[in-house]
């Protein structure tokens, strides 16, 4: 009894001092909930972690023991990365360059065109404006598979495709990515743009500014976060794309991005894990850096409905 | 082409593009009259309209037309291509697999994303915990397929296992399993890869939505003695219902169109093909244009109602 009394007092004191939010917090973070969260997090991380560990192990060790044994046995090497980047039969360095060359214009061009169109739809008056905007918006429902075969034939007939084409065939990929990005980009940027107060535009017009000046001096700076949001989205989409590159790259490895080369390696050298693991991480590095450093903008883009498939 | 030449091509393309844009802006800058404004609007809108018209509208109409032609596009065959999709035994397996993908991926990704979002909400490690689940979103589906092929790696039970899934199975004393070869369950194991990628998306959207639930509702429920699972069931889920629908429909659309996982993991063999991959295979491997365009049109028809529903929901969300 003598020990129970002070204990009771202690509990009462704690309850009295504890704010309501803390009670809520405690109820939510019960040990079972934490355990479930940890299990999901571990299950989600292990596959990537396993391949990452494998990419730093020697070829002989990969095939004779599980990657988890390396955690206590050690034996790390950078040979796989050296081979993947500089080896004569893989030479992912070339494809890394291709991915860069494909991605940069495929992000810049559609965004520029879309910002201009979105501005016109939001702040300029011209006949058929509302109809055209709804039409562009509706075209988002066209899956890219539906457009591919006729578009490819069009490119071939116009001499855009193939290795003799101008730009070595890159133009077809740039153009296709730009086209496929436009409906969503215009819709999204228009949404952001029409939220800017109309008085701002009006007063600039009264002061004698033309649309072009309003667009370049006022609109572009204000739109920077929205443009960043869509830009990251488009960047990840293009960098990680396989279908467009396969179909419009004309099957030539000369201009193929990393994804195409990796998919091919996975088919032809499916059990050479020293190549595949290092190759996968070479292709992951850039999107991961972009993603982690600009995650805030990416999430904003997602929440604004920029979802594409 | 050498690396240098490629970058030069890229710089030329970007420079030409921005030069054209700059010229358009400069030329139309000085126009002030009523007609001038029309010209300006045209300069701003026409590039986008031209690209969309040539690159989306014209090909979509052509594809639908070609789906009623034969394999080389010479003779009209009516609905024969569609009949093949729904009667041929290989194509029926494709339809079965597509149905499994479109039902399982959205539901399981959303459930896992939702549960996880609730579990880590307001915890001390929320940011890190969310990043871990969200990370697969940045990985290409090709990369994800390679990561999971390694997880599923198979060796006979007598040998050392290097794939973690079979290592666990062997550790528990069972016979090792050919995850990628054994029909029909191999489709389920490919679906798991897509769930792994999409759960992060569901989690981010739903987590934002959960944080937007007004505190006083939660507080009132708590004073009434609601807690734990009943809080989740009667307060959290109804409050985020619109976001749940957006997440479910968005993932369904993405899943219907995804072909990378099937192509990288099995090449469509072992009865794992789906519509999006079959389209590619019929045209580029079997050179059957009629069937390929019919499959593309079918994807279009399947996606259309989901997109329209999705857009309506998003409008409602924005209106709130």
Contact assignment for B303 to A140 by CB distance below 8 Å = no
Instruction: List chain A residues with CB under 8 Å of B11.
Output: none
pLDDT tens digit string along A175-221?
999 999 998 889 888 888 887 888 888 888 888 777 888 888 888 88
Exposed (0-12), middle (13-18) or buried (19+): which is B94, by Cβ within 10 Å?
Answer: buried
C-alpha torsion sign, points B225, B229, B230, B233? positive
What per-residue confidence (pLDDT) applies to A12? 39
Delimit the domains of chain A by residue range: 19-77, 90-303
Q: What is the mean pLDDT of residues B264-274?
A: 88
Among candidates B218, B261, B300, B146, which has minimal Cα distance to A265?
A: B146
Assigned fold of A90-303: MetI-like fold (1.10.3720)
Q: How far apart are CA A241 and CA A154, in angstroms?
A: 21
Q: What is the mean pLDDT of residues A159-187?
A: 82
- Please tell me whether residue B76 adopts helix, strand or coil conformation: strand
Which segment of B26-30, B67-71, B113-117 scores lowest on mean pLDDT? B26-30
Q: What is the mean pLDDT of residues A94-122?
A: 91
Q: What is the ipTM for the molecules in this complex?
A: 0.84
Token digits for A263? 């998919």
Contact assignment for B300 to A142 by CB distance below 8 Å = yes
Instruction: Give the best-scoring range by mean pLDDT among A76-90, A152-166, B45-59.
Output: B45-59
B141 in A contact zone (CB under 8 Å): yes
Residue A91, pLDDT > 90, answer no
Beta partners for residue B69, in sequence order:
B76
Q: How far apart are CA B59 and CA A248, in angstroms?
A: 14
Asked whether the beta carbons of A301 and A232 are under 8 A apart, the reply is yes
Cβ neighbours around B297 below 10 Å, total: 24
B140 to chain A: nearest residue by CA?
A240
CA-based nearest distance B84→chain A, Å: 18
What per-residue confidence (pLDDT) applies to A308? 46
Q: How far apart are CA A74 and CA A135, in angstroms?
A: 59
HSE (side-chain half, CA atoms, 13 Å) at B95: 14
Alpha carbon separation from B100 to A86, A88, B66, B88, B183 (Å, rounded): 42, 42, 28, 19, 13
Which segment of A103-107, A165-169, A232-236, B292-296 scores lowest on mean pLDDT? A165-169
Q: B139 in the Ramachandran plot: left (φ > 0), alpha (ψ -120 to 50) or beta?
A: beta
Token digits for B205? 């959207």
Q: How far apart are CA B281 and CA B262, in angstroms?
A: 11
Among candidates B201, B25, B7, B55, which has minimal Cα distance to B116?
A: B201
B134 in A contact zone (CB under 8 Å): yes
Average pLDDT score, chain A: 80
Q: Which of B36, B162, B228 to mutate to test the interface with A (most CBs of A within 10 A)?
A: B162
Give pTM, 2 decimals: 0.85
What per-residue confidence (pLDDT) applies to B188? 93
What per-residue confidence (pLDDT) applies to A17? 40
What per-residue confidence (pLDDT) applies to A307? 47
């Amino acid at each position: 009894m003598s020990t129970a009394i002070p204990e009771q007092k202690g509990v009462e004191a704690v309850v009295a001092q504890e704010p309501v939010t803390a009670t809520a917090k405690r109820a939510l973070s019960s040990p079972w909930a934490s355990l479930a969260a940890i299990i999901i997090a571990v299950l989600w991380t292990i596959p990537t972690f396993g391949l990452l560990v494998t990419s730093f192990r020697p070829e002989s060790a990969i095939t004779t023991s599980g990657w988890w044994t390396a955690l206590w046995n050690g034996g790390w090497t950078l040979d796989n990365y050296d081979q993947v980047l500089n080896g004569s039969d893989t030479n992912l360095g070339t494809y890394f360059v291709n991915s860069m060359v494909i991605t940069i214009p495929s992000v810049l061009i559609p965004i520029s065109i879309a910002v201009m169109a979105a501005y016109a739809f939001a702040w300029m008056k011209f006949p058929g404006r509302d109809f055209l905007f709804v039409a562009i918006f509706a075209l988002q429902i066209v899956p890219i598979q539906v457009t591919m075969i006729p578009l490819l034939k069009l490119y071939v007939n116009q001499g855009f495709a193939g290795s003799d084409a101008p730009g070595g065939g890159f133009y077809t990929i740039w153009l296709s990515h730009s086209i496929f990005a436009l409906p969503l980009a215009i819709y999204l940027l228009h949404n952001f743009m029409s939220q800017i107060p109309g008085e701002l535009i009006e007063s600039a017009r009264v002061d004698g500014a033309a649309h072009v000046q309003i667009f370049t001096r006022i609109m572009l700076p204000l739109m920077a976060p929205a443009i960043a949001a869509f830009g990251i989205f488009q960047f990840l989409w293009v960098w990680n794309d396989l279908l467009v590159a396969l179909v419009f790259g004309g099957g030539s490895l000369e201009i193929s991005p990393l994804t195409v080369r990796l998919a091919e390696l996975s088919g032809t050298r499916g059990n050479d894990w020293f190549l595949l693991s290092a190759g996968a991480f070479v292709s992951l590095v850039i999107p991961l850096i972009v993603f982690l450093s600009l995650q805030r903008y990416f999430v904003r883009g997602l929440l604004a409905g920029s979802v594409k498939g | 082409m050498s690396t240098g030449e490629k970058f030069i091509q890229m710089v030329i393309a970007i420079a030409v593009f921005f030069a054209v844009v700059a010229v358009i802006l400069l030329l139309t800058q000085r126009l002030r009259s009523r007609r001038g404004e029309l010209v300006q609007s045209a300069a701003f809108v026409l590039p986008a309209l031209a690209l969309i018209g040539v690159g989306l509208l014209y090909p979509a109409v052509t594809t639908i037309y070609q789906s009623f032609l034969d394999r080389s596009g010479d003779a009209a065959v009516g609905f024969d291509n569609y009949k093949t999709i729904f009667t041929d035994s290989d194509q029926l397996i494709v339809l079965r697999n597509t149905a499994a993908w479109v039902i399982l991926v959205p539901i399981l990704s959303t459930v896992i994303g939702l549960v996880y979002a609730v579990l880590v909400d307001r915890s001390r490690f929320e940011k890190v915990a969310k990043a871990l689940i969200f990370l697969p979103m940045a990985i290409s589906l090709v990369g994800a397929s390679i990561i999971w092929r390694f997880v599923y790696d198979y060796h006979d039970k007598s040998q050392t296992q290097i794939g973690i899934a079979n290592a666990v199975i062997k550790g528990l004393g069972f016979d090792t399993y050919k995850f990628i070869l054994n029909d029909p369950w191999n489709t389920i194991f490919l679906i798991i890869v897509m769930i792994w990628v999409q759960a992060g998306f569901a989690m981010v959207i739903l987590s934002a939505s959960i944080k937007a639930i007004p505190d006083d509702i939660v507080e009132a429920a708590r004073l009434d003695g609601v807690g734990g699972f009943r809080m989740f069931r009667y307060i959290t889920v109804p409050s985020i219902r619109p976001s749940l629908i957006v997440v479910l429909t968005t993932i369904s659309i993405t899943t219907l169109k995804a072909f990378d996982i099937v192509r990288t993991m099995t090449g469509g063999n072992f009865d794992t093909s789906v519509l999006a991959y079959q389209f590619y295979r019929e045209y580029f491997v079997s050179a059957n244009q009629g069937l390929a365009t019919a499959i593309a049109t079918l994807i279009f028809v399947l996606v259309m109602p989901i997109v329209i529903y999705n857009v309506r929901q998003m409008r409602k969300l924005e209106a709130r």
